[in-house]
Structure 1
Amino acid sequence: MMVNLRRIRKRQLQQLMMTCFALSVVMVYWESLDYNLMSHIKSYSLRHLLPSLDYITANLTISREEARKFSNHQYLINHKWKCADRDILLLLFVKSSPENFERRQAIRSTWGDETYIERTLGVTVKVVFALGVHPQTLERNRFQRKLLWEDERYQDLIQQDFLDTFHNLTVKLLMQLGWTHAFCAHARFLMSADDDIFVHVPNLIRYLQEVIRTGVKDFWVGKVHRGSPPIRRKDSKYYVSEEMYPWLLYPDYTPGAGYVISSDVASRLYQASLNLNASLYIDDVFMGVCANAMGISPQEHVFFSGEGKAPYHPCIYNQMMTSHGHVKDFHELWRHATDPSVESVSSGLFGKLYCTLIKVRLLCKPIFINTYPCKAAFF
């Protein structure tokens, strides 16, 4: 009897210890989750209560001379005549880093192949890669020689002499806006994308041609973040101090992973950037600040994935615009996504019903997945 009592007490003690451990893990996780959840709820609610965010623009406005220090960088590699063609539908700026040669090659041979686009889709798209210099002094010369060799062969690199780091992404955005204004202002649309983005160019081209037919103005489309709060955790890559940005929420913006703007919007964003403090190094947020200054709002498109990777399925490919987080599978995804048989999968009444059910299964999950929203299943 004594032995059994000891075993029971030992088992109870073990259960108590496991329960305490589980509760401590939950408390630590919930503290972080609760902070993020409450921050988003508070900022989102505030966004709908405030009719204007002009106070942000007013506080970030500086003189042109002060603003020039953020964009006053020399071109190391440039192609002023890249946009010599008159009728350019899309200028596609891919943000890359000096060391990411393989990613650039994959893009050139898949969705960024200008020759394929012109021959197959009948439109002119110009693809260029935006770069700074390698941040490590000892490696810089070696990578610069490689970049010069690469550009001599492909003629598609645009490089300035700033350090190519995460904290200089806003500088890279300023380079894109400045280069577009100076050398390619007549392109009807500008797209900015990361070099780990997959762009379904045929779908995108058809969509942009429809936009032209409907005469849309102030066009800015992508996945939209509305009322997002600044991240104040110092261990986060996206940490922004209160000194840098003291307000509780950001203006609406699209993630820098991939979005499209019309030429008139590109011009107005460039003009806004000439008088704004670009020390805010979250580039997509800074673009939101510029757009807010000009009274421009982003439009949600459910098949721009933002930061997420889209599910692999023909019913998704038929409407896909962008998918984020691709490095090794560019060629395979391009082959499957552009296969002519994809369109037949969703054709007809039964095909549409089948694809709706498939998209519900893939997109409408009880846990949050950072890709296309559930409502995309019904488009």
Structure 2
Amino acid sequence: MFINFRRIRKCQCVQLLTTGLLLCMVMVCWEQLDHHVVSHVRSYTYRYLINSYDFINTSLAINPDPHHGPVVEGDGATVSHPYLINHKDKCGTSGSGRPWDDVLLVLFVKSSPESFERRQAVRDTWGNETYVWREARESVRVVYALGVHPDTERRAATQRALVQEDWTYGDLIQQDFADTFHNLTAKLILQFHWTHKHCRHARFFMTADDDIFVHMPNLVRYLRGLLNSEAGARNLWVGHVHRGAPPNRRKDSKYHVPYELYPWPSYPDYTAGAGYVVSGDVAAKIYQATLRLNSSMYIDDVFMGICANAMGVYPEEHAYISGEGKAPYHQCIYNRMITSHGHAKDIRTLWRAATAPAVRGLSSGFINGAYCTAVRVMLLCRPYYQNTYSCLAAFR
């Protein structure tokens, strides 16, 4: 059949060309469209209509090793990694001749072997244990979780530098696995296993990236409030919650998860790995889950969600614990802030501003409170603005 273009009106030609162009664009962009729309619709449907994760205890169960917890290599093999640097007495041990220290919080900072400057910035600011004790009279233990340098040619020199650094500060916890993205779950397991063995008496456990800012005075006040509440600090897991998130199926993505690894359309709810807090009893439950579940899921915060779901623990949203974003710079944010992410270079500057004496009394009184609420609304409730905290945080 031939088309007589003489009989086709000009507007019909335009419509025909436009339709063809749109079809071409849809074909080219279908994979991205499917990832951002179809996958999320399917995931939310699974999460909120079906809401069944029984497969976690059945499909992901393993035979536990009675001597060592499982950790994951880059190829997904479950093995055990020996400690290269360890501090068994960091929290006080009964075998050391000293009584158990009353530790409010053990805080693991996830760091890479060559990230000395970031670790030093944390030590000089919010991760300073002496500062917390002097200002709040609370015992906090800050340690750094590490693997070995992934480049074998640079590994020996980097390891010598780490040994020297640890000799000076005594706060590195390192196991013998390559420190890579695909071994983040190994680093997560390191933290919970070390805590269970050497600091299980701590009231709370926290994990954080080395480019995160933690407002330690606000965090300590928050944890104290939990301990003094009627419910107490049990069954607690707080952070920036991802609900009904779908696996990323795009092969060009860093976070690509193949169907062979995780065939289901939705992850269990989990908190962003940038920083979250659990109570001591939950830390013990996660430790037990790591002994029972396959740790081949290399996205560590998702694996945390899988472990927690298997143990009947579910995350709670905290308005001022960040996800992947950076909080606005303002005193009215600082007086509520718990964490903010993405501070690789400005931790010292932010620490001085956020802990200044003027910030502490900023929310006292009706006028100051109303002023800060208005400021937070302007900073956090702007349309189409990607921020760390939700608009609801402005009113809390």
TM-score > 0.5 by shorter chain:
yes
Distance 1:73 1:377, change over 3 A: same
Task: After TM superposition, list the pairs within 5 Å mapping 1:239-258 onto structure 2.
Answer: 239-258=256-275
* Residues 1:355 and 2:355 are matched in the alignment: no
CA contact (8 A) 2:107 2:208 kept: yes
Task: Structure 1: state its 5+ residue gaps.
Answer: 1-16
User: 2: CA distance between counterparts of 1:318 and 1:55?
Assistant: 43
Which residue is equivalent to 1:68? 70
Query: Per the alignment, do residues 34 and 72 of structure 1 end up closer, same or farther by CA in structure 2, a change over 3 Å counting?
Result: closer
Q: CA deviation at 1:371?
A: 1.1
Residue of structure 2 equivalent to 1:53: 53
**Is 1:166 aligned to residue 175 of structure 2?**
no
* Residue 311 (structure 2) pairs with residue 309 (structure 1): no
Higher share in helix: 1
Match of 2:86 among 68, 75, 78: 78
Q: Deviations over 1:217-242 (max 9, x none)?
A: 20000000011000001111111000
Provide the secondary structure at the position in 2 that maps to 1:127. strand
Deviation of the 1:31 alpha carbon: 6.2
SS in 2 for 1:58: helix
How far 1:46 moved relative to its partner? 1.8
Question: In structure 2, what residue type is equivalent to 1:38?
Answer: V
Looking at structure 2, the residues matched to 22 and 195 of structure 1 have their Cα atoms a distance apart, in angstroms, of: 45
Structure-2 residue corresponding to 1:110: 125
The Cα shift of 1:360 comes to 1.2
Write the distance in 1 (CA, Å) between the matches of 2:372 and 2:381.
Answer: 13
Q: How does 1:1-379 map to 2 (within 5 A)?
A: 32=32, 35-65=35-65, 68=70, 70=78, 72-84=80-92, 85-214=100-229, 215-379=232-396
1: CA distance, partners of 2:209 / 2:147: 14
TM value normalised by structure 2: 0.87
Q: In the TM superposition, what is the alpha-carbon distance from 1:365 to its structure 2 partner?
A: 2.1
Per the normalisation by structure 1, the TM-score is 0.91
Residue-pair matches, total: 363
CA offset at residue 56 of structure 1? Answer: 2.7
Report the CA distance between 1:23 and its aligned residue. Answer: 11
Q: Contact (CA 8 Å) 1:88, 1:124: kept in 2 or not?
A: yes
* Mapped partners of 1:274, 1:325: distance in 2: 32
Deviates more, 1:30-39 or 1:267-276: 30-39
Offset at residue 65 of structure 1 (A): 3.6
In 2: Cα distance, 1:190 partner to 1:345 partner = 29
How many angstroms apart in 2 are the aligned matches of 1:61 and 1:242?
18
The share of aligned pairs that are identical, in percent, is: 60
Q: Contact between 1:188 and 1:263, CA under 8 Å: does it hold in 2?
A: yes
Q: Does 95-104 or 336-345 show the bigger shift?
A: 336-345
Deviation per residue, 1:268-313 (Å, 9 max, x gap): 1100110111011000100100001100001100101111110000
Structure 2: runs of 5 or more not aligned? 1-16, 72-77, 93-99
